[in-house]
Structure 1
Amino acid sequence: MSETQMPAGQLSGNVLFYSKPEPLAKELHSKIGVKRMDGPFKFAKVGHAIPLTVGEFPLAAVTGPIIFVGDEKLPIAVMGLNAGENMFVKDDGTFESGIYIPAYVRRYPFVFANDEQNNQMVLCIDRNAEFIVDKGYDMAFFEANGEPTEYTKNCIEFCNNFEVERQRTVSFVQILKDLDLFETKEATFTPANPDGTQGETQKIAEYFGVSEEKLNALPAAKFVELRDNGALGQIYAHMHSLVGWDRMIALALTKAAAQQPQAANA
């Protein structure tokens, strides 16, 4: 663990959920810690699209669509149809039963940040995390002698493993790019009119996904290579996950219908 101290302004990049990252250091954080909460995931309610590592694809595919976005083709787990609204996080800060919680969420409030000046990664915590407190905490960050606690060591190991998986994900995406397997896809919804006819089709999302046609057209040797390096299973997990759009749309309609009587009585 690095104890390099620097102004927060030197940390590069804006990271989802982290509003006040600070390099973890005994000089700054020896008298604060983490309070256990029954519902610790309130921060994730704004995460409708959460970064995912490739090793998580099979588990995340059960919850909803896994798509690729941006020039970097970053894989994300779709957890809501509206920006800033996670459909699976309840008001009490817990996830709905049976929903896969991405590692990106589970590592919070820890995160690695780039120290561009010193060309290194620095472990940070989000000082604005609801469960980081200066009194009444259950798990301290540092022992009285200044050494990291067992809790902190475990969190560091989790973040290190996450970084390894993140790099593996970058390599996986590069394989798909090199083979030109991506295509632009759309998720659409056709509502029913009150008279029973179909309404106008609405576009919910535009994203990158693996083209089944391009995948099937690969030379046999490349296909076997994808199978042997484990990429093929992850590709299929992504492709199968896309049926989750229908489930999410149905869930959104159900929730909207349930809220209508409440709005009417308000």
Structure 2
Amino acid sequence: MESTQSAGGITGNVLFYVSPEPLNREQHAKLALVHNDKPYGFAKTGTAVPLTVTEFAPAALSFPVIFAGEDRVPLAVMGLNNGENLFVNADGSIDPGVYIPAYIRRYPFVLANDESQDRLIVCIDKGSSLLSDTGDTALFDDKGEPTEYTQNCIKFCDDFEAERRRTDSFVQLLKDNDLFELKSAIFTPTDEAGQPGQPQTVAEYYGVSEEKLNALPVEKLKELQANGALAQIYAHLVSLVGWDRLIAVAMVRQAAAAGVVVN
């Protein structure tokens, strides 16, 4: 993958990236990574973050994995309100044990479309606070070649793109088998006496229908099992229990903001 391209024809709007530009040895010769043990402040507004299919199982331990939009894009739900991420703290840290999606881990690097040459090129978010001319780990060495750190980041982006294509194939498989249905996340509040109130719809999203899945022919289920798709489907279904955790985290955050102690 090329890492030193001229600007021009770069397209696409990517979550978290403010000023993406092609990585270039002339323009970015002095640029370096700023070491920060709490580097995730850029993701604090990421309510739903894209996931690749191989991330479903680890992500399911932390938050709901859903599908959204006409393309049924897999997302990790990390907040209940727009511009809110309940797992990224104000200081840029993430609580121990919470899975960090690869989409977040690759930042401030990203692949972008170069329409003029019909290919993907490596870009960086020049507006990122993680990059500076006075940073700690250089992007290029004295000869103008990508450092080992930069090479590793480029490989990570290439691997992510390969996983993204694999994810597209997985989603298409679910579409071909008509396994999607519209689902709702429901929250039932309780009053001061502990009595249940009126159920409230927290979110609507697309997910795999267990009824449709169970109705598939045995041969098709064996095929899904053999190609690994069935395990990912079950990871998605198990993750939906995470709506309860997400709601609980939101309630604790709201209570803390209001100065209320929650037992």
TM-score, normalised with respect to structure 2: 0.96
Counterpart of 1:97 in structure 2 is 96
Q: Alpha-carbon deviation of 1:196?
A: 4.2
Counterpart of 1:5 in structure 2 is 6
Counterpart of 2:145 in structure 1 is 147
Per-residue CA deviation, residues 32-84 of structure 1 (Å, 9 max, x unaligned), is 11110121100010111000000011100000100000111000001111111
The residue identity in structure 2 corresponding to 1:190 is T
Q: 3-state SS of the aligned residue for 2:172? A: helix
1:42-61 correspondence runs (5 A): 42-61=41-60
Distance (whole Å) between structure 1 residues aligned to residue 162 and residue 26 of structure 2: 28
Distance (whole Å) between structure 2 residues aligned to residue 33 and residue 251 of structure 1: 36
Distance (whole Å) between structure 1 residues aligned to residue 232 and residue 194 of structure 2: 40
Counterpart of 1:223 in structure 2 is 221
Q: Alpha-carbon deviation of 1:226?
A: 0.2
Q: Alpha-carbon deviation of 1:198?
A: 2.9
Per-residue CA deviation, residues 16-40 of structure 1 (Å, 9 max, x unaligned), is 0001001001011001111101211
Task: State the identity %.
Answer: 56
Per-residue CA deviation, residues 90-136 of structure 1 (Å, 9 max, x unaligned), is 1221101110000000000000000112101010000011110012x
Distance (whole Å) between structure 1 residues aligned to residue 109 and residue 188 of structure 2: 41
Q: 3-state SS of the aligned residue for 1:28? A: coil
Q: Alpha-carbon deviation of 1:4?
A: 2.2
Distance (whole Å) between structure 2 residues aligned to residue 239 and residue 38 of structure 1: 33
Distance (whole Å) between structure 1 residues aligned to residue 29 and residue 79 of structure 2: 38
Distance (whole Å) between structure 2 residues aligned to residue 122 and residue 224 of structure 1: 39
Per-residue CA deviation, residues 203-231 of structure 1 (Å, 9 max, x unaligned), is 11111000000000001111000000000
Q: Which has the higher helix share?
A: 1
Q: Alpha-carbon deviation of 1:195?
A: 5.0
Counterpart of 2:173 in structure 1 is 175
Per-residue CA deviation, residues 138-195 of structure 1 (Å, 9 max, x unaligned), is 1111111111100000101111111111110000000000000000001111212345
After the TM superposition, list the runs of 4 or more consecutive aligned residues in structure 1 that deviate by more than 6 angstroms: none
Counterpart of 1:23 in structure 2 is 22
Distance (whole Å) between structure 2 residues aligned to residue 13 and residue 146 of structure 1: 28
Distance (whole Å) between structure 1 residues aligned to residue 20 and residue 129 of structure 2: 13
Q: Alpha-carbon deviation of 1:11?
A: 1.7
1:65-144 correspondence runs (5 A): 65-135=64-134, 137-144=135-142
Q: How many residues align?
A: 259
Counterpart of 2:208 in structure 1 is 210
RMSD over aligned CA atoms reads 1.1
Distance (whole Å) between structure 2 residues aligned to residue 70 and residue 12 of structure 1: 20
Counterpart of 2:13 in structure 1 is 14
Q: Within the alignment, does 1:164 sit opposite 2:165 as a pair? A: no
Q: 3-state SS of the aligned residue for 2:97? A: coil
The residue identity in structure 2 corresponding to 1:121 is L
Distance (whole Å) between structure 2 residues aligned to residue 196 and residue 154 of structure 1: 53
Q: Alpha-carbon deviation of 1:251?
A: 1.4
TM-score, normalised with respect to structure 1: 0.95
Q: 3-state SS of the aligned residue for 1:183? A: strand
Counterpart of 1:245 in structure 2 is 243
Q: Alpha-carbon deviation of 1:199?
A: 2.5
The residue identity in structure 2 corresponding to 1:143 is D
Unaligned runs of 5+ in 1: none
Q: 3-state SS of the aligned residue for 1:153? A: helix
More deviation in 47-56 or 88-97? 88-97
Distance (whole Å) between structure 2 residues aligned to residue 102 and residue 196 of structure 1: 36
Q: 3-state SS of the aligned residue for 2:259? A: helix
Counterpart of 1:232 in structure 2 is 230
